Chain A
Amino acid sequence: MEASNNEFLRGTLKTIVLKLLAERGRMYGYEITQSVKDRTNGEIMLTFGALYPVLHKLEQEGFLLTESVEVDGRLRKYYSLTPSGSASAVQKVSEFERFVEAMQSLLQPQQGLSVG
């Protein structure tokens, strides 16, 4: 899948980030891209151009806390959820699950509608 311009991905990026942070607690940007890549077997590749604006937006909205740590001579910025971020993660994931279910029922071939 073509990474950052994918229209399906764009709307779900926030959900992905919140969900991962809810599971893992504290992550930095590159770690998030790698973990998405590993778990989807390379099917979803986040580019930095798509990821960092979302992270900063979530931080601005008060969902994420950041902490900069110096690692090997460079600054690494770790993100973690605030309480409102955790609540939003639960809500977004459940909303998305409902959306996926609805999509699945749309994608299934329609049965039982025989021509009368």
Chain B
Amino acid sequence: MKKLTSHQLGLLQDHLIRHNTNDALLAELLDHLACEAEEYLWKGYNFDLALEKITQEANSKAVKYLRETYRQDVAMSEEQLQTATLDDIVFEFRNKAYGAYDLRQSYPMALRNALILGISLFMMLMAFLSGMNQGEWSFISSWGIMWMVGVCGMAYSIGTWVFNRPPHRLTVPI
């Protein structure tokens, strides 16, 4: 059995992407078309001819038909829609692995942490400046309490940020 080179696979993938293939189906369709191409090669066609035949068959009409059937068949059910977040609905047929979905998911958390950290640093700065000004320092005074609250807030926001960070992805999915 003849195998396709990575360049030839790239050509097939380009074709699929140009015709707006559904993200959820891209890898699978690539394998499908590659199998067809290999069958043509095995029958004795050269690759250019095989590619031409395949791209004719998987033209935009066929891919569009696929996309529409897919949307009808695999759409979220009523129950799922009840519990789905806006992100889930927006990303239903889109590539979640690409990164935007994760960013949106972690955004409220990041915003909250940044806010707490900002306020805490500000309180610490104010307490520090007033301490400098008065030339004496007591933890029991209102400035001292403000300083302690600021330290706690900073520790809390940095702590949650460190422990709840999603695992960093190093590989880029196809």
**Taking beta carbons and an 8 Å cutoff, which residues of A are in contact with B?**
4, 28-30, 33, 47-50, 52-54, 56-57, 60, 68, 71-77
Report the minimum CB–CB distance from A47 to chain B (whole Å).
Answer: 7
Listed A/B pairs (19) with beta-carbon separation below 8 Å: A28-B31, A29-B28, A30-B31, A33-B32, A49-B62, A49-B65, A50-B69, A52-B66, A53-B70, A56-B24, A56-B73, A57-B73, A68-B27, A72-B34, A73-B6, A73-B9, A77-B27, A77-B28, A77-B31
**Taking beta carbons and an 8 Å cutoff, which residues of B are in contact with A?**
3-4, 6, 9, 24-25, 27-32, 34-36, 58, 62-63, 65-66, 69-70, 72-74, 174
Residues from chain B with Cβ under 8 Å of A47 in the complex: 62
* 5 closest A-B pairs by CB: A49-B66, A30-B35, A53-B73, A75-B27, A53-B70
Cβ-defined contact, B32 with A30, below 8 A: yes
Report the minimum CB–CB distance from A78 to chain B (whole Å).
Answer: 10
Report the minimum CB–CB distance from B5 to chain A (whole Å).
Answer: 9
- Quick one: which of A53, A60, A76, A77 contacts B66, CB cutoff 8 A? A53
Cβ-defined contact, A52 with B70, below 8 A: yes
Cβ-defined contact, A72 with B4, below 8 A: yes
